[in-house]
Structures are given as C-alpha cells and as structure tokens.
Structure 1
Amino acid sequence: MAVNRQAAHRGYDIIGDIHGCANTLIRLLEQMGYRKVNGVYQHHRRQAIFIGDIIDRGPRIREALHLVRDMVEHGSARIVMGNHEYNALGYCTRARPGSGKKWLREHNARHNRLIRETLDQFDDHPHEWNEFLEWFYTIPLFIEEEGFRVVHACWDGDLIEKFKRVQGGACIDEDFLHASAAIESFAGQVMDTLLRGTDLRLPEGTSITGRDGYVREFFRTKFWADDPETYADVVFQPDPLPPEVARKILTDQERKQLISYPLSAPPVFVGHYWMEGEPAPLKGNVACIDYSAVKYGRLVAYRFDGEAVLSPDKFVWVDVSRPEQFGYPNMEDSVER
C-alpha cells in the first residue's frame, strides 16, 4: 500500500461530530493513547483533527468546547468548522441595517430548538460564549495537505480554490458571514456546500418527512458517486427515498449538478451525515466519521498514517448506546431526538 511520506511522519486521528458528548470524547482520546499534560490532552507522536460540530444537542457542550480549544491552541489538535458552529455565528450576529432582518440566522422555532442546549449551558457564562464565538472565526473551513483533506460535509474543489483566492486562506470573516446569509451568493454556496453537502430537488409534488419531523423537498447527495444512473445511486442521508423516487433516472441537468471526487484524489474525511452500523470507508479515498454519537451511536475516529487507500481496520470508536455502562451516570443522557 502506498504511503505518503509527509503525512506518515506524524499520525492523525480524525474525530467525528461530538455535539457536546465531552465524556465520550475523553474515553475515545484515552483509548487512542492521548493523556492530559498540564491540563491538555496530547499524544507524543499523533495529532487529533476534529471534523466540526462540537456544539449543540448534547449535555456537555461547554466542557467539549474547552477541551477541543485547549488541544487546538496547544498544537495537539486541529479542527475544521461544522455547520453548527457556522449556524451559531449567524444566530448570534445581528443583521446589518436595511437587510429587513434582525439576525443573520432567523430565530424561528426550529433554529431555537437546535441551539437551545448550547445557549442554556452557557447561560451563566456569557463572556465565555462570546469568546468561543470569536474563536469560531479562527476555525478553517477545510484542511488540505499533500496526502489528505478534511472538510465537514463536502469537498468541492472548484469552490475551495475560488474561496482561497477570495479570502486568502481557509477561514471566513464577519463580512463573509454576512454575505453568506444570501444562499444564492458565492459565500452562501461555499458555506452550504462545504458544511451541509450537496442535494437534488425531489420530483414535483414529492416531499420527505424525516425522522426529525422536518419536511424536505430536497435530498442529500454523494459528492463521490462514480457514474451514477438513478437517484438511488446518489442519495446519501439517513431517511430513505420512496422506492418509486429512488428508481428515477437522473436527467442530464441533474448530473451536471453533482460533484465528482475521483479515486486519484487524496483521501478526504467528512462528518455531518449521521452514519450507522460498522464504520468503513465510503470508497477507497472517502471516509465519513460521523456515526451519530449524540443519538447513542458511536463516537468514531480514523487513525490516518498516510495511506493512499483507506482501510476499515483504521477506524476506532466508543459506543454510546448505554451511557451508564461507562461509569458516568449522567453521560450524554439529555440529547434531543
């Protein structure tokens, strides 16, 4: 198996969506040989990479943020932004005069519900929360090394190259955040694609009610599908398509909307997608490491050592199906389904 020399000198442990499951994260880090040194988790020869979505839903969001930020600031970890960190910035940022809105991200029932646990847990620590919001601006949207790539939901090479030219790096600023509130804008497309993934519109008159109760007229799609022919070949989401929709042949226009990620490209790691079952690569150079930890699934990491072809043997995880079995009586026990 080919090994990239630059990546091989230091191993990387890419860790999936945490969503406030701080105790589970500690168990996973310790399982992988990370130990606290001067209050910060470190490994003597490896570096953790967090896939984003540290906040929302879980019972120990504040603790998780402190743990992750301390590791990043001390060099024992890196991180990319998740859609929940981006959502928090929009939710907590006032819209500019003349926009017709009070906040960049509307304070409606659904958005209030998604961020409620985070705001509740910081209710007695408002200065800390403001500091974390500022820190979110320092989190890159992607990591691109010679031998691997990391992004929260979707690697769109063309969008990323244009973003680097526009922004001069991998981070957003407040102007870009404001611009991204218009989904049809370049900024809106960057944030929507990289942090939420790609989608296709369902046939006219068709909708899907997900397990979260949200009614969708679009479905998430793979950015790595090879020569797809039907909707079933590109769908990538927890909620299945109706059988008659899954069999539908992709039109030429729909094919043009899909993104291709060739096998010749470096391995890329994503989170975001609420996977289930036994962790394994999606294809030889694509791995999703979000296995629904906060829904009592698994908190997963991939231990990357420079290999060009990803292996199921490199996944490690902590099960969170029965929190009390881990010796933490209240661990991850207040998540919203």
Structure 2
Amino acid sequence: MTGNIEGYDLIGDVHGCGATLAALLEKLGYHQRGGVYRHPRRKAIFLGDLIDRGPRIRLAVSIARRMVEAGEAFIVMGNHEVNALAYTRRCKPGSSCEWLREHTPRHNRIVQETLEQYRDHPAEWEDTLAWFMDIPLLLERDGLRVVHACWDAPLINQFLSRYPQARIDEAFLHESAVPDSFAYRVLERLTRGTHIPLPEGVRIHSGDGFTRRTFRAHFWADSPRTYGDVIFQPDNLPGDLEDRPLSEKERARLTYYGPDEPPLFIGHYWCEGIPALPAPNIACVDYSAVKYGRLVAYRWDGEQVLSADKFVWVRVPRDEQTRPRPWEIDLD
C-alpha cells in the first residue's frame, strides 16, 4: 500500500443518505477531527452517486468532499454527478437543444430532491458543481481498480491517452451530449454500464416508479448466450426473456472483465439483500441505500481474491424518528 495505508474502504452509492454515511464511517473506525472523518491507518474510496433522492444530500456531499480534500478519501464520478453537470449547462448557441441534459419530466424528477435541498444555498450548489468537475471517472492504485459502473479497458485506454488524470473538462461534457461521440460513449459505459434494449413492445415497470425499455447487463460473463447470462439489476425480465438468446449485435455491445484482472469495485446496480460477490475479483457496493436497503462498504486489504466476509454495512431505517439528527453529525 502507498505510504502508511493498511487498506481502503470502498463505499457504495450514498444518494443523499448523509446521516447513514456518518454512521457507516463510525462503524468503520473513522472519527471526526477538524470537521473531517479520518482513520489512522485507512482511506475511504467513494464510488460516486452522492446526490439525488435521499434526505440529506448536502450532508453526504459535505462529508465526502471534506474527506477527499483533506486526503482522507478518494472518489470516482457516478452517473448522477454527470447528470447534474449536464442538467445545469445550456447547449451552445445555435444548437438544437437548450440544455445538455434536457429538462424532461423524468430528468426533473431524478434531480428534484437535490435542487430542493440546495435551493436556499445557491453559491454552495455552484461550488459543488465545480467540485464535481474535479472528480475522476476511474481510479487505479495499489493494485485495485474503481469505476462507477463498468471497466471497459480499450475505451479507458483511449480516454486516458487524452485525459491522463481521468478528469473530464467542459468541452468533453458538451461533446457527451452528441449521441455516439467519443465523450458520450465514455460516460455511458463507465458511469452507466451496458444497456440491452428490450424487444419491441416490452417494458419493465421498475420498483422506483420508472418504466424502462432496456435492462442493465454486466461485463464478467465469459461467452454469454442468453439475456439471463448478463442481466444485473433488481428488476426481473418479463416472461421467459431470460432464456432469450443474445444476438450477435447484442453480444458486440458487451465488454468482458476476466478473472485474472485486478480486483475491481463498482456501484450503480441497485443490488438487494445480503452483500455478495458477483465474481471472485469484482465487488458491487451499491445495495439500494436510499430505498431502505444497506449502505455498504468493502474493507480491502490488498487481497486479489475478494471475500464476502469483508463487506460492512448499515441498514437505512424506514422510520424517520430513528435517523440521526443533523446536529448529531455537525461538521462545523
């Protein structure tokens, strides 16, 4: 490990569960000093998606940002940070669009809680958006890899050849609004993963209230043959679609992360239940915290073969009265 670090604690999608994040950090042995959660021998790594949906978004961002800026943590960008950046930026004059992420009812709903919680703090929101631009899309250090949704090595190598620090800029963000551009492909694959379109007329009515025309596919199946071989989401496929063969075109959309690759940590996929490993060298740490699931961390100590025994989590309480109050975790 670099320096005196004994290991890393990789923390999944917080989605505004700021009080629960504080509780998880305390459980992991991080304690506040000088307004920053610190551990004497470990560093945290946040997997992105700090914002949207949850009750204490500003607190979640503040905890993570202070840790990162103090050198106590690292972070990669999630699709919700990307969404916020695009949602708040107008297209260039003469473009066919008004916003890089159009203000549709669906997009408005996703970002609604974040905008409401920052409404009385406009300068803080602008500063937060500026900080998002400093967050890298991926991290590789001390033998582990971190990305929000999908590690696509050829695409990552292309990206790093242009952006060695793995950070995007304004030009990249504007380019990403153009479908099938290089920037679009990078942000889609790394922060959203691979989506396979459902057959014509088939829809998934998701538990979060959205209707979807695609399903999320993972990237660690060797020679997948059917939809069921690659689906990775809490919503089941309708009917017998899991047995439907993947077409050549659909297989071409997939990337593959083999068992001999370094340990990889991802978020994004709304896993449920007791944390488990999808592959011996891959851990997903998104366990639907904001849907009253678990806010999960993996305590990595350098092992190449991961172990489900290394997961640590805090349940997110349904009862508002059981939530820690803001003043109990005041950072000022």
Determine whether 1:123 maps to 2:122. no
- Find the residue that maps to 2:9 and give its secondary structure: strand
Q: CA shift at 1:205, angstroms?
A: 3.2
Determine whether 1:178 maps to 2:174. yes
Deviations 1:68-101 (A, max 9, x none): 1110000001100011111000011111011122
Q: CA shift at 1:329, angstroms?
A: 6.6
Partner Cα separation in structure 1 for residue 162 and residue 314 of structure 2: 40
Partner Cα separation in structure 2 for residue 327 and residue 209 of structure 1: 30
For the 8 Å contact 2:4–2:41, the answer to whether it is kept is: no
Determine whether 1:41 maps to 2:63. no
CA distance 1:143–1:326, change in 2 (3 Å): same
Which letter does structure 2 place at the counterpart of 1:213?
G
1:142 matched residue in structure 2: 138
Alignment counterpart, residue 318 of structure 1, candidates 314, 317, 324: 314
Unaligned runs of 5+ in 1: 332-337
2:292 matched residue in structure 1: 296
Taking the TM superposition and a 5 Å limit, the aligned residue runs for 1:216-255 are 216-255=212-251
Partner Cα separation in structure 1 for residue 303 and residue 187 of structure 2: 29
| Greater CA drift, 319-328 or 306-315 | 319-328
Q: CA shift at 1:328, angstroms?
A: 2.8
2:107 matched residue in structure 1: 111
For the 8 Å contact 1:6–1:147, the answer to whether it is kept is: no
Q: CA shift at 1:325, angstroms?
A: 7.2
Partner Cα separation in structure 1 for residue 49 and residue 269 of structure 2: 11
Alignment counterpart, residue 21 of structure 2, candidates 18, 25, 28: 25
TM-score normalised by structure 2 residue count: 0.94
Alignment counterpart, residue 203 of structure 1, candidates 191, 199, 205: 199
How many residue pairs get matched? Answer: 327
Partner Cα separation in structure 2 for residue 296 and residue 213 of structure 1: 15
2:279 matched residue in structure 1: 283
**RMSD (CA atoms):** 1.8
Q: CA shift at 1:59, angstroms?
A: 1.1
Q: CA shift at 1:326, angstroms?
A: 4.3
Which letter does structure 1 place at the counterpart of 2:63?
L
Which letter does structure 2 place at the counterpart of 1:270?
I
- Find the residue that maps to 1:102 and give its secondary structure: coil
Partner Cα separation in structure 2 for residue 22 and residue 296 of structure 1: 13
Partner Cα separation in structure 2 for residue 127 and residue 45 of structure 1: 35
Which letter does structure 1 place at the counterpart of 2:226?
T
| Greater CA drift, 197-206 or 146-155 | 197-206
2:257 matched residue in structure 1: 261
Q: CA shift at 1:203, angstroms?
A: 2.2
For the 8 Å contact 1:14–1:50, the answer to whether it is kept is: yes
TM-score normalised by structure 1 residue count: 0.93
Partner Cα separation in structure 2 for residue 65 and residue 109 of structure 1: 25
For the 8 Å contact 1:21–1:61, the answer to whether it is kept is: yes
Q: CA shift at 1:7, angstroms?
A: 9.6
Deviations 1:295-321 (A, max 9, x none): 110000000001000101000000114
